Amino acid sequence: MKKLALHWRILIGMALGVAFALLVTQFPWGKQFVIDWIKPFGNIFINALKVIAIPLILGSLISGIADLNNLTQLSKMGIRTISLYILTTVIAVSLGLVIVNVVRPGAAISEGTRAQLVSSYEKQAGDRITAAEKQKQSGPLKALEDLIPENIVAAASSNGNMLQVIVFAIFFGLGLILIPPDKAGPVKGFFAGLNEVILKMIDLIMLAAPFGVFALLAAIVAEAPGTDLFVALLWYGFSVVFGLALLYCFYILLVYVFARRSPSFFLKGIIPAQLLAFSTSSSAATLPVTMERVEEHLGVDPDVASFVLPIGATVNMDGTSLYQAVAAVFIAQAFGMDLSLGVQLGIIVTATLASIGSAAVPGAGMVMLVIVLAQAGIPEVGLALIFAIDRPLDMCRTTINVTGDATVAMIVAKALGKLGDPHEKKWDERLDEVIGE
Ligand code: ASP
């Protein structure tokens, strides 16, 4: 029997998860049942993805850079990648600002609703503000200082330090290029092999993806807060989602114009990673799958994918930056503040930097939003206004974050002559290969 394509399996898993949670939460014991007996399987699935993130970065980045063989290629790739990341982020923030100024979602919030929202979510907002305070207290060059780990084992022991591991891997790869080939050979071989093993592990984990997303979505639905305040936030949610949808079309256009690949080719290749990003709300947890899809299904050379994608997962968050711009102005509107052009231009800078600084984990964009608010003189307690619908918006913005990384990977690969035909195997072939006939 012909097996369903992977993205259909994942979509069915998601739909069943939602339906299951809606059904069982009708019973008084339903919510607790999902939390106790279903949610842990979602956590197991996310952990299985996360556990391979650091070895994947080390294996793929070191062997990718060592394969480049010279430093000019590396600097060409580096400059293109960083420029495209910054450019797309600035475009995303600007798009968010235009939309929020046209739609004016904050004007739809009455004073009563505002007070109700603030009192309902004050505590949660306070927690995020405290978390952001810690980041704010550090000096202007702290982010740069933090790039260099003082101990690689310590750095590699936390997914929060991915950027440090990336810097170490690039540095190590450079060393490998510069030593004699007979000495470099075995080390290169080791990391190339490690990379292969990790890619195979991703195949195995993906076998469980439909079940993993079932559990994740069931838990999200069961734990969702009440919907009574949703209506007030409808226009705000619409502004974010509309902006993200436009950004999505923009990526498709970029891929078409600069990488010469059709929208259907791009979407078919990347959709499983998008669905996982949506289900997990974490670019970092999705990274292994993004890499596998981009290399094997979109035809990006592993040298490019292994450099562009891990950096993108940690610093390039276009969806997050658009959301931060919309949210900041929405909160200002709800408090009856009129933001001058100068302040809004300032938001372009702070939201760009805040999205770079956001960790690739659920809810991180909201913590960094505090910094955008503070810079623009908007009351931080306004965070309470947007709390009720942050999770669904996080799911959407993470999907866009991952799509943005894949877009840049394709454009950089094309520019360097490293975009080939995908060596895609049909999903059922891969499945048979993994589980055996
Ligand atoms: N969850 C997002 C990500 O992992 C970050 C955010 O909160 O916006 O990409």
pLDDT, tens digit, for every residue of 261-281? 999 999 999 999 999 999 999
* 270 belongs to a structural domain: yes
CB 286 within 8 A of CB 49: yes
* 378 belongs to a structural domain: yes
399: Cβ below 6 Å to ligand 1? no
Dist CA 328 CA 49 (whole Å)? 32
- Say what the pLDDT of residue 266 is: 96
Query: For the chain, what is the domain count?
Result: 1
321: Cβ below 6 Å to ligand 1? no
Dist CA 241 CA 316 (whole Å)? 18
Phi first, then psi, for residue 368 (nearest 5°) are -70, -20
* 1 belongs to a structural domain: no
Question: Helices H, strands E: what count in the chain?
Answer: 21, 0
- Say what the pLDDT of residue 115 is: 79
398: Cβ below 6 Å to ligand 1? yes
Cα-to-centroid distance, 47 and ligand 1 (Å): 17
For residue 263, the domain's CATH number is 1.10.3860.10
Dist CA 39 CA 213 (whole Å)? 10
* 82 belongs to a structural domain: yes
**Chain segment 25-66, per-residue pLDDT in tens:** 999 999 999 999 999 999 999 899 889 888 988 988 898 888
- Select from 22, 8, 17 the least CA-distant residue to 38: 17
**Measuring from atom 2 of ligand 1, which residue has the nearest CA?**
398
* 122 belongs to a structural domain: yes
Q: What is the pTM of this model?
A: 0.88
Cα-to-centroid distance, 118 and ligand 1 (Å): 23
- Select from 10, 9, 19 the least CA-distant residue to 218: 19
**Pocket-testing residue among 49, 276, 282, ligand 1, by greatest number of atoms within 8 A of Cβ:** 282
| Domain containing residue 119 | 6-436
**Measuring from atom 8 of ligand 1, which residue has the nearest CA?**
365
Cα-to-centroid distance, 92 and ligand 1 (Å): 15
* 219 belongs to a structural domain: yes
94: Cβ below 6 Å to ligand 1? no
Cα-to-centroid distance, 435 and ligand 1 (Å): 33
3-state secondary structure of 300: strand
Q: What is the mean pLDDT of residues 314-343?
A: 92
- Name the pLDDT band for 85 (thresholds 50, 70, 90): very high
320: Cβ below 6 Å to ligand 1? yes
Dist CA 98 CA 326 (whole Å)? 9
Cα-to-centroid distance, 223 and ligand 1 (Å): 19
312: Cβ below 6 Å to ligand 1? no
Q: What is the mean pLDDT of residues 181-207?
A: 90
- Say what the pLDDT of residue 65 is: 85
272: Cβ below 6 Å to ligand 1? no
